[in-house]
Structure 1
């Protein structure tokens, strides 16, 4: 999860797509709850509709909506200070590892996954929705080999696949009264909530366990050594200062044990039983030449 000093944007970005059907009119009423207006004021329905504000149905959010929402959250993060690392070779390497994980994993939603590197010395990784996954330059430096990097990317893919941020946004809007019976929310509102959740709130305990297990299975399917996941987590915990990537994630010792138990119970792959340095992503020298020396 992202944990930074980025401030939550208060600027609503006008949606680019118009309302497609009259069925969205019912959802518009729910949005009015979140807008400041006195009881005597009438809600400007005409202006709202003419602006083409896209209303998202979080009870049944489409893949296309998730991708659009992830893109808007990305734009919000960039406007609030997030910087991307510009080295093309490093970005291509991270994207190649991420795409290998996605292409060989089973049952993933049809997202156009994008893996990017954020210019940040802190050890961190996070994902939004619709296939957007980020790792920091600090995390790339902390990893010793490709399998350790893949373990983090696999974990974040797990968050995307299980739609954890989507569920968090929906829960947040329900608890704050932003969603009415029509469960409608504008895309800009949802994006602002998503940024705030990424910045200030860790994933729940259940979500982290689920992403760990999904990520571990993705590692196996992609031919990486599963042992890299707990090994990297242990190494980061041994540092004097707990990295951002773990400080916002609950119950790390319990998660470590669950990962190790799952690895012991599922030793059927060659990278479980007899991992080789090159084929299972454990070659430190190769990783250093491809990534570490370029940072």
Structure 2
């Protein structure tokens, strides 16, 4: 009886050993062949010691760290030439931090920076980095209008739009591996996205909605958001870059008008033109 049991055990051990080896080989083959369009396998990346980022499950900490690298590259490359005036930077930061506290991602360490550029522009990258051109500040009539632009850019960060755009760009360029995206490539894509700002119609409408809600929660007059967009469109000539990179501006204005009660549109802070001009006088 014991002899039969021993023979049975030996035979089953062999079967389990073969099954285990087969399973491991199957997993290795399967993982190294996930989505053949990916540039390299996760095994190769790990063997090369390349640091990768899994965009589908990126944490806030990882997003902020990546945003810092993108920000540094933007500055080092001269694509974001920062304005050095302390008073203007402090002013923009005070508005931004006020909005950040009432946003849907208040725990991010937001960084608001002024770019020394006469064009009417603003942009953001992942991890809480927001950039406002001096040209846009001069185009705004009051603080509520400036706050509306900052709120819109915070809306992109809240919606994690840059992370999704990075994933789409990496897939289209065949750079995404089974393990994720090479960190250095992620930084390069992040810089390209920050400059080109290829936001979709749905992203813009969501950033408008989130920005408007944030504007109201922070105590600013919601009329500032519509007022700024309408004024730029009515100026004539070429469309400012702040709007030209955003599709369907008229549609966006109509959507915002439906979200704002005319009776309370001017209720809130930031509508004084004289106070605003004093704040940006050093520009």
Q: TM-score, normalised by structure 1?
A: 0.78
The match for 2:253 is 256
The match for 1:232 is 228
Provide the rounded CA distance (Å) in 2 between the counterparts of 1:140 and 1:119.
11
The match for 1:196 is 192
Q: Secondary structure at the match of 2:113?
A: strand
Is 2:282 the counterpart of 1:294?
A: yes
Provide the rounded CA distance (Å) in 2 between the counterparts of 1:261 and 1:177.
41
Equivalent positions of 1:1-295 (< 5 A) are: 34=39, 46=47, 48-49=48-49, 53-81=50-78, 82-105=80-103, 107-108=104-105, 110-182=107-179, 184-239=180-235, 240-264=237-261, 272=264, 275=267, 280-291=269-280, 293-295=281-283
More helix by share: 2
**1:213-251, Cα deviation, whole Å (9 max, x unpaired):** 000000110010101101100111122221111111100
**1:8-30, Cα deviation, whole Å (9 max, x unpaired):** xxxxxxxxxxxxxxxxxx89x99
Query: With CA pairs under 8 Å and 6+ residues apart, which has the higher RCO, 1 or 2?
Result: 1
Provide the rounded CA distance (Å) in 2 between the counterparts of 1:274 and 1:242.
26
Q: Secondary structure at the match of 1:117?
A: strand
Q: Structure 2: which 5+ runs fail to align? A: 1-30
Provide the rounded CA distance (Å) in 2 between the counterparts of 1:274 and 1:80.
41
**Conserved 8 A contact 2:122-2:136:** yes
Distance 1:43 1:220, change over 3 A: closer
Q: Secondary structure at the match of 1:294?
A: coil
RMSD: 2.3
Task: Report how far residue 273 of structure 1 moved.
Answer: 5.6
Q: Which has the larger Rg?
A: 2
Distance 1:257 1:110, change over 3 A: same
**1:60-105, Cα deviation, whole Å (9 max, x unpaired):** 0011111111111111111221210000000000000010111133
Q: Secondary structure at the match of 2:57?
A: coil
Provide the rounded CA distance (Å) in 1 between the counterparts of 2:274 and 2:62.
41
Q: Secondary structure at the match of 2:230?
A: helix
Distance 1:246 1:190, change over 3 A: same
**1:177-230, Cα deviation, whole Å (9 max, x unpaired):** 222333x11221111111222223520000000000000000110010101101
Task: Report how far residue 109 of structure 1 moved.
Answer: 5.2
Q: TM-score, normalised by structure 2?
A: 0.81
Task: Report how far residue 284 of structure 1 moved.
Answer: 0.8
Task: Report how far residue 45 of structure 1 moved.
Answer: 5.8
Task: Report how far residue 54 of structure 1 moved.
Answer: 2.6
Provide the rounded CA distance (Å) in 2 between the counterparts of 1:231 and 1:121.
20
Provide the rounded CA distance (Å) in 2 between the counterparts of 1:247 and 1:273.
26
Q: Secondary structure at the match of 2:261?
A: helix
